[in-house]
Amino acid sequence: MAYKGAGVVEVIDTEYPSFELKDGPGVNPINVGRKVPHGAILRTVTTNICGSDQHMVRGRTTAPEGLVLGHEITGEVVEVGPDVEFIKVGDIVSVPFNIACGRCRNCKEGLTGICLNVNPDRPGSAYGYVDMGGWVGGQAEYVLVPYADWNLLRFPDRDQALEKILDLTMLSDIFPTGFHGAVTAGVGVGSTVYVAGAGPVGLAAATGAQLLGAACVIVADLNEERLAQARSFGCETVDLTKGGPQEQIEQILGVPEVDCGIDAVGFEARGHGTGAGEAPATVLNDLMDITRAGGALGIPGLYVTGDPGGIDDAAKKGALSLSLGTGWAKSLSFATGQCPVMKYNRPLMMAILHGRVSIAKNVNAQAIPLEDAPRGYAEFDAGAATKYVLNPNGYIK
């Protein structure tokens, strides 16, 4: 599945992967020819369409045409490089969307979202994503994963994994990412939580907040279908077409503030009210207003340094008009950046395997063939309350 220009994705044919990073759209020249003896080739079991992919497909990043998409990957190992010691052919594995070497200072400190050795452009890397080093995306039948022994999470039982695959496929990104938003926002037993955005990451954050023991999780959006999905698993909701969140929060809680705030929207945020236009700082400023003094904001929503479609010159460079004084005066804490997936994916896997959480149900996961991905992208972009899971090799019956 390749990005072909603003609003256009297309199924293309590519070569079967090899244990070497080759030239192609988005590949940093320094990475061309990089040998991957520590890698594994996977036959893709599932690979999901992500809201972060949509930013590129809308033309809101500097992604090059021809970039093969897909950073949410679950697969079966079909080949391993000569340096792979523990991962075996036949293993069913989850692939963290962060590509990490396991050797650098950041990886050794658990900061796998900002590995120093996989992307010459900046710390941190991902499959099939703009400015991430050029590692080929996984919305395909096969994909190469580097540093396989370090990166891959092996499922303990093949049959059990395939039975729960719609849940387990969420471990590559959105479930850990949403859970990270809840953890960094300080969610604990008895917390009141506001989640901005009822897309899949917002619903995953709400699920994570419930798993952490929140007393009340409030999800806000402009899309009623997505708000209904949040209510389906016990969340309260705020309809931002009716105005700002404070009054509606007060109606739910009796006070106009929450303990913890989560931004699951990112840089394409809109304002309040019917027909609200783009206002990229809205969510962050809302969160500073409605989070109690001494609280924390978890910000898994994506923000970029290059946005060709930004509403003004500042937004095109990722510069937003934030009321930082509000945050300072209230002693708020902020946590941003890629989720370090490996910090969370194993415990969340265990929660899924032992029936503690139903993330696929909560995000309304639906499996579609690879060739139907353009339709999935279009429907997701139009606001469908669905997490589209691509099934390129027929593992999902």
Amino acid code (one letter) for 102: G
- Cα 164 to Cα 105: distance, rounded to the nearest angstrom: 35
User: What does the H/E/C string look like for 20-80?
Assistant: EECCCCCCCHHHCCEECCCCEEEEEEEEECCHHHHHHHCCCCCCCCCCECCCCEEEEEEEE
At a CB cut-off of 8 Å and minimum separation 6, what does 1 contact?
A: 9, 10, 11, 12, 68, 69, 70, 137, 139, 140, 370, 373, 390
Whether residues 296 and 315 share a domain: the answer is yes
pLDDT at position 397: 87
- Whether residue 78 is contained in a domain is answered as yes
User: Are 181 and 262 a contacting pair, CB within 8 Å?
Assistant: yes
Whether residues 196 and 332 share a domain: the answer is yes
Residue 7's domain spans which residues? 2-173+340-390
At a CB cut-off of 8 Å and minimum separation 6, what does 126 contact?
A: 71, 97, 98, 99, 132, 135, 338
Cα separations in angstroms, 41 against 125, 173, 326, 327, 341: 18, 19, 49, 46, 20
In the DSSP assignment, the letter for residue 126 is B
Which tokens in the block code for residue 63?
């992604």
- Domain finish residue from 318, 336, 354: 336
pLDDT by residue for the chain (397 residues), tens digit each? 999 999 999 999 999 999 999 999 999 999 999 999 999 999 999 999 999 899 999 999 989 999 999 999 999 999 999 999 999 999 999 999 999 999 999 999 999 999 999 999 999 999 999 989 899 999 999 999 999 999 999 999 999 999 999 999 999 999 999 999 999 999 999 999 999 999 999 999 999 999 999 999 999 999 999 999 999 999 999 999 999 999 999 999 999 999 999 999 999 999 999 989 999 999 999 999 999 999 999 999 999 888 888 899 999 998 999 999 999 999 999 999 999 999 999 999 999 999 999 999 999 999 999 999 999 999 999 999 999 999 999 999 8
If you search the block for the tokens 């404070």, which residue do you land on? 246
- Whether residue 396 is contained in a domain is answered as no
Whether residues 61 and 149 share a domain: the answer is yes
- Whether residue 369 is contained in a domain is answered as yes
In the DSSP assignment, the letter for residue 320 is -
- DSSP H stretches of helix in the chain: 51-57, 105-108, 148-151, 158-163, 165-168, 174-184, 200-211, 224-231, 245-253, 282-290, 313-316, 324-329, 345-353, 359-362, 373-381
In residues, how long is the chain? 397
- Domain finish residue from 293, 309, 336: 336
Closest CA to 38 of 118, 136, 114, 157: 118
Whether residues 346 and 311 share a domain: the answer is no
Whether residues 52 and 88 share a domain: the answer is yes
Question: Total domain count for the chain?
Answer: 2
Q: Read off the CATH number of the domain in which 238 is found.
A: 3.40.50.720
3-state secondary structure of 165: helix
Residue 124's region, left for phi above 0, alpha for psi from -120 to 50, else beta, is left
Which tokens in the block code for residue 75?
């697969």
- DSSP H stretches of helix in 92-171: 105-108, 148-151, 158-163, 165-168
- Whether residue 288 is contained in a domain is answered as yes
Cα separations in angstroms, 357 against 121, 353, 394: 37, 9, 25
Cα separations in angstroms, 213 against 59, 174, 197, 282, 360: 39, 19, 20, 28, 20
pLDDT at position 375: 96
User: Are 205 and 397 a contacting pair, CB within 8 Å?
Assistant: no
- Cα 106 to Cα 110: distance, rounded to the nearest angstrom: 6
- Whether residue 86 is contained in a domain is answered as yes
- Cα 210 to Cα 63: distance, rounded to the nearest angstrom: 35
Whether residues 351 and 308 share a domain: the answer is no
Q: What count of Cα atoms within 13 Å lies in the side-chain half-sphere of residue 59?
A: 7
Whether residues 94 and 130 share a domain: the answer is yes
- Domain finish residue from 316, 336, 356: 336
- Cα 263 to Cα 194: distance, rounded to the nearest angstrom: 9
Whether residues 110 and 236 share a domain: the answer is no
Whether residues 243 and 344 share a domain: the answer is no
User: Are 101 and 115 a contacting pair, CB within 8 Å?
Assistant: yes
- Whether residue 397 is contained in a domain is answered as no
pLDDT at position 238: 98
Whether residues 23 and 67 share a domain: the answer is yes
Q: Read off the CATH number of the domain in which 368 is found.
A: 3.90.180.10
Whether residues 74 and 223 share a domain: the answer is no
pLDDT at position 306: 86
How distant is the alpha carbon of residue 75 from its chain centre? 18
